[in-house]
Amino acid sequence: MRKITAALFISLDGVVEAPDQWHFPYFDDEMGAVVGSMLDTADTVLLGRRTYDSFAGAWPQREAAGGEDAAFARVLGDVRKIVVSRHELEFTWRNSEQLEGDLVDAVIALKNEPGTDISVSGSVSVVRSLLADGLLDELHLLVHPIAVRTGMRLFDEGETTIPLRLLSSQAFRTGVLHLVYAPAEPTGSAGYDTAKAHLPQPAQ
């Protein structure tokens, strides 16, 4: 079964909205390597409509311009792009299509298709849905050492917790943390009476 991996730029206070307004000072070779590796292992990209519109409004022109980012733009153009939207869409960027039917059923079908990984870039609403439905295999968070203090957070209000386990962590020279999480089993109930056994004991 194919793996679905999502990556998000996120601030220290959990903001994921409009990272173009705060994350570029932290973008270096280490972060670029992470972004590039997400596509190295994927032949399909799953996108929300807003993220797709943003990408489609910039990357085809960058590819055509032939600048230093043209090679990455060409990779994005060549990969299969599937857009999640409730409204019927028309596409001009090559290899773009709309996800058909129910999100859960369609993503399960995608995971069972032959191919390599499926990558999710940005698209917070899609990431939230995949997490809630247990369909996301890896969540890569690039945590920036800045409190943005305004904007949409990754996790919205809800009644059900989403337990995760840490797969790996790496600190970049810029202070950005690359944290990789996977779904985890519920932790179960515990209270102070359980926790107090782990408090340090005074020396005798």
Contacts by 153-162, CB closer than 8 A, 24 or more apart? 153/13, 153/14, 153/15, 153/16, 154/8, 154/10, 154/14, 154/16, 154/124, 154/127, 154/128, 155/14, 155/128, 156/128, 158/132, 160/132, 161/186, 162/131, 162/132
Structure tokens at 143: 């945590």
DSSP state of 153: B
The pLDDT value recorded for residue 13 is 96
> In which band, very low, low, confident or very high, does the pLDDT at 188 lie, cut at 50, 70 and 90?
confident
Whole-number Å distance between alpha carbons of 16 and 147: 11
3-state helix, strand, coil in the chain (%, to 5): 35, 25, 40
- Full strand arrangement of the beta sheet holding 80-84: 96-98, 80-84, 42-48, 117-121, 4-11, 138-144, 177-183, 164-171
> In which band, very low, low, confident or very high, does the pLDDT at 190 lie, cut at 50, 70 and 90?
confident
Whole-number Å distance between alpha carbons of 103 and 109: 10
Work out the mean pLDDT of the chain and round it to a whole number: 94
User: 96 pairs with which residues across the strands?
Assistant: 81
The pLDDT value recorded for residue 109 is 96
Structure tokens at 33: 């390597």
Share of the chain above pLDDT 90, in %: 87
Put simply, whether the predicted model's pTM sits higher than 0.75 gets the answer yes
DSSP 28-56: -HHHHHHHHHHHHTEEEEEEEHHHHHHHH
The pLDDT value recorded for residue 159 is 81
What does the pLDDT look like over 119-168, one tens digit per residue?
998 899 999 999 999 999 999 999 999 999 999 999 988 888 999 999 99
Q: Judging by beta carbons within 10 Å of its beta carbon (0-12, 13-18, 19+), is residue 53 exposed, middle or buried? A: middle
Contact 121, 106 (CB under 8 A): no
Alpha-carbon dihedral sign for residues 183, 184, 186, 189? negative
Is it the case that residue 176 has pLDDT exceeding 80?
yes
Whole-number Å distance between alpha carbons of 42 and 162: 25
Q: Considering only CA atoms, which of 112, 124, 144 is closest in space to residue 44? A: 112
| CATH number, domain 4-51+81-187, options 3.40.50.20, 3.40.50.410, 3.40.430.10, 3.40.50.720 | 3.40.430.10
